[in-house]
Amino acid sequence: QVQLVESGGGLVQPGGSLRLSCAASGSRLDYYAIAWFRQAPGKEREGVACIGKTDGTTNYADSVKGRFTISRDNAKNTAYLQMNSLKREDTAIYYCAAGPIAPKTILVHLYDYWGQGTQVTVST
């Protein structure tokens, strides 16, 4: 069973950048596809990006395409989410999750293991 810990969140101005990290322990990260989700106050949790176990296949929500990049370093047992050109509407708690697949539609129920989340706030 894998444990996931996110880091790298914080306060950033609109147009700025952040890189989130998702460190895995208890299991090899390359056993799992990895996804990033976010949840804003009063809204449902939504899938942002996902990446396959070893082939590098990625998928993104339309709202972040061209601005966010998901990656992974299996040797370091860590996945990343590089977020550029941040907007106020990107403000949310960001979670990483591990599961068997990295589909085009990133759905909560497809992922078995979750981190505790990291807060991202985009504001002046």
The bridge status of strand 78-83 relative to strand 18-25 is antiparallel
Burial level of 77, CB count in 10 A (0-12/13-18/19+)?
Answer: middle
pLDDT digit string, tens, across residues 19-64: 999 999 999 999 999 999 999 999 999 999 999 998 789 999 999 9
pLDDT at 95: 98
pLDDT digit string, tens, across residues 78-112: 999 999 999 999 999 999 999 988 888 889 999 99
CA distance 66 to 32: 24
